[in-house]
Amino acid sequence: MDELSEEYISAHCPHCDSAAEALTYLLEETDNFRIVCGVHPVTEGHILIIPKSHLSCIGEYPEDVYKEFLTLYQKVSDYLLKEYGSVSSFEHGKFGQTVFHSHIHLLPFKGDLEAIIPEGKEKVTSINNLSELKRIFKKHSGYLFFSIGGDKWVVDVSLIVPRFFRDRFAKELGKPERGNWKEMHLRENGNSEPELEVKRVAAKWKKDNEK
């Protein structure tokens, strides 16, 4: 079976196996989470927060796990602001996932709402905090969440396609070829620019946390 196929990924979750490639560049590990460099980054500074338990999205987190997540989310956000000058985030909250295990993306990005959602403001709903995702998930069984700076939104589910945010952020960052992580996987050779970016992020994180 093709290791990049949806069938294989569903049967062999790459975020549950601690030896999986997706967890290669571990930045930090806690009781309930792993913080890792994205092995197929959209841009330098692309970091994932992944729960150890097989949960579908933030909206499904038990309260103790959610509280720990908030601390880590703030830590990664602060790191990206310090090192790269900006931070955005996104989660395919079950909808649009290609790996069916919660993983929250944080990455440097400066832009406006229309850059990511050119369909218009009527296709998004502003939220005040991440806890609202739990309410939305309970009501709709999923969501598409993203943030730019301190602003947060969920997107109209009529727009759902796989890799919804990856493709859009990659395009706006001038790297549309990085939207499809499976194709990136096939192109990388151990010394590619994305892999060099990952190594730089890991080195900066280590230096910051040694202080």
**Secondary structure (3-state) at 208:** helix
pLDDT in the model for residue 4 = 44
Asked if 153 contacts 143 with a C-beta cutoff of 8 angstroms, the reply is no
Exposure of 85 in the CB half-sphere (CA atoms within 13 A) = 2
Length of the chain counted residue by residue: 211
Asked if 40 contacts 126 with a C-beta cutoff of 8 angstroms, the reply is no
pLDDT in the model for residue 1 = 42
pLDDT in the model for residue 105 = 97
Please report, as a single letter, which amino acid is at residue 68.
E
The residues that bridge with 154 in the sheet, in sequence order, are 125, 145
Asked if 134 contacts 66 with a C-beta cutoff of 8 angstroms, the reply is yes
Q: How far is residue 207's CA from residue 199's CA, in Å, rounded to a whole number?
A: 12
**β-sheet with 104-107: strand ranges across:** 26-29, 33-37, 47-51, 104-107, 88-93, 143-148, 151-155, 124-127
pLDDT in the model for residue 10 = 53
pTM of the model: 0.89
Tens of pLDDT along the chain (211 residues) come to: 444 445 555 567 777 777 677 788 999 999 999 999 998 899 999 999 999 999 999 999 999 999 999 999 999 999 999 999 999 999 998 877 767 889 999 999 999 999 999 999 999 999 999 999 999 999 999 999 999 999 999 999 999 888 899 999 999 999 999 988 777 764 455 568 888 899 999 999 999 988 6
Residue of 211, 160, 188, 208 lying closest to 47 (CA atoms): 208
Which residue ranges form the domains of the chain, and what is each CATH number? 6-210 (3.30.428.10)
pLDDT in the model for residue 35 = 96
* Cα 202–Cα 208–Cα 211 angle in degrees, nearest 5: 140
Tell me 88's DSSP state.
Answer: E
